[in-house]
A and B are shown apart, each in its own frame.
Chain A
Amino acid sequence: AAGVIQSPRHLIKEKRETATLKCYPIPRHDTVYWYQQGPGQDPQFLISFYEKMQSDKGSIPDRFSAQQFSDYHSELNMSSLELGDSALYFCASSLRQAGSYEQYFGPGTRLTVT
């Protein structure tokens, strides 16, 4: 079965640079979620989109922005990167219209800021 695809899997950036993470949800899923997992920490919710509209927002820095496109893929844009942004970034998708409560996670993008 198709899973959530994230690219790139690994990304190394320097401080003050920008990064773009991409997420391709499971086909027909209408909701995308972004989470950030710092080293040794639990995943923290950043932002979500339902039918291409932002549906919820968590502890996402103002330096970060995200959107969901017409083909339902989503991108997380991160600017003025800081060392503390080094983390594993997960994308998850679900089919909210069907009343599904399950979020399926991608393998994550490991961002290292040097």
Chain B
Amino acid sequence: AQSVTQLGSHVSVSEGALVLLRCNYSSSVPPYLFWYVQYPNQGLQLLLKYTSAATLVKGINGFEAEFKKSETSFHLTKPSAHMSDAAEYFCAVGANFGNEKLTFGTGTRLTIIP
């Protein structure tokens, strides 16, 4: 079975500050990991993915994440927060090379303080 745990259901950062959203995974096989962003009343947009290539993954909107096997972590970061980053962020793990169901974490709501 696979699962992800997102630490912190709510995170607030000041505009221009570092964004750090935490995700830890549990998987009996090499995981395929994803970060999705959801704006209010909208669908899920893929930010970035880890598929066993480079451990540092760059995504859209200036986000990146680093896969750390020793820590079973896949934390999402952005050097400088922008007001438009305010949204719900979901970490997800995929089974069977990511071609099967995604198991999502409980989400982290990011608030940007002006």
- Interface positions of A from 79 to 114, Cβ below 8 Å from B: 90, 92, 94, 96, 99-108
Residues on the B chain within 8 Å of A55, using CB: 100
Q: Of the 9-residue stretches B15-23, B61-69, B72-80, B101-109, which lies at the interface with chain A?
A: B101-109
Give the residue name and chain of the A residue nearest to B91 (CB). Answer: A42
Give Cα A56 to B45, complex, Å.
22
- Interface positions of B from 18 to 76, Cβ below 8 Å from A: 32, 34, 36, 42-46, 49, 51
How many residue pairs between the two chains, A and B, have CB atoms under 8 Å in the bound complex? 59
Give Cα A31 to B103, complex, Å.
17
Decide if A48 is an interface residue (CB 8 Å cutoff): yes
Give the residue name and chain of the A residue nearest to B4 (CB). Answer: A42
On whether the beta carbons of B94 and A58 are closer than 8 Å, the reply is no
Smallest CB–CB gap between B59 and chain A, Å?
A: 12
On whether the beta carbons of B101 and A104 are closer than 8 Å, the reply is no
Decide if A43 is an interface residue (CB 8 Å cutoff): yes
Residues on the B chain within 8 Å of A105, using CB: 36, 43-46
Give Cα A42 to B91, complex, Å.
10
- Interface positions of A from 30 to 65, Cβ below 8 Å from B: 31, 33, 35, 41-45, 48, 55-56, 58
On whether the beta carbons of A90 and B99 are closer than 8 Å, the reply is no
Contacts A56-B100, A102-B49, A103-B102 hold; do A90 and B44 have CB atoms under 8 A apart? yes
Give Cα A55 to B103, complex, Å.
16
Contacts A101-B32, A105-B43, A107-B43 hold; do A45 and B101 have CB atoms under 8 A apart? yes
Q: A residues touching B (Cβ–Cβ < 8 Å)? A: 4, 31, 33, 35, 41-45, 48, 55-56, 58, 90, 92, 94, 96, 99-108
